[in-house]
Copies of this chain bind each other. A is one copy, B any other.
Amino acid sequence: MPKQVDHDERRRHIAEAVLRLASPEGLDRARLRDVAAEAGISLGSVQHYFRSKDEMVLYVVRHLGKRVTERILSGMCEAPGTSRVRSILMSMATEMLPLDDQRRAERRASRALTARAIDAPELIEELRQGDRWLHERVMELIEQGRRDGELRPELDPALEAVALLAMIDGLGGDLLLGVRDPGETLAAIRYHLDRLGPP
């Protein structure tokens, strides 16, 4: 009987190798043979799971998106506190920001993936779906906060979600570059979330 190989496990293993190889300047230098070497498997094995580099990159985008999403969701469930919606949004922001080595590596890889996406429609569609999911979660939270009296009733949930997610994204870029430090970054988000509450 042939050895059972967990195909999805193997694909995830290869995706992790791609993430380690992705430099902030992109994925251009990560050839399939480099990925194979990094993953410690043969080139043929990589080609068995991914027919092309584009197919591999699409998988990596989904893999990374899923990992960050799971962290955001678990952060949303665990966030304690009196002002619940704002705690959840703060915890979400913290999960998305490059504040430790793992999240820094994720952000570097994500930069490489989005750079590649600028001229690749199928990757853009994948990123768009991820963005839509996140935008809807944030919008629902803001609606809930308005209903519960935790947030100002006059807030526009859709535009607040666009503004908050863009702010987190911009601050993440500044952090990665070292243009801003973690203290300033978190203070700006906390300040912004505070203003969403009733005076």
Contacts and interface: CB of A to CB of B under 8 A. Distances in A.
A170 interface: yes
Interface string A156-173: 100100110111111101
A73 interface: no
A167 B173 CA distance: 11
A124 interface: yes
Interface stretch (A2-10, A24-32, A36-44, A81-89): A24-32
Copies of the protein in its oligomer: 2
Contact of A26 (B26, B167, B185, B189): B26
B188 A166 contact: yes
A179 interface: yes
Given A159-B187, A188-B162, A24 B128 contact: no
A131 B181 CA distance: 13
Given A118-B177, A124-B178, 18 more contacts: A26-B26, A26-B115, A28-B28, A114-B177, A124-B179, A131-B174, A131-B180, A156-B191, A163-B167, A163-B189, A163-B191, A163-B192, A166-B169, A167-B167, A169-B170, A169-B173, A170-B171, A195-B195
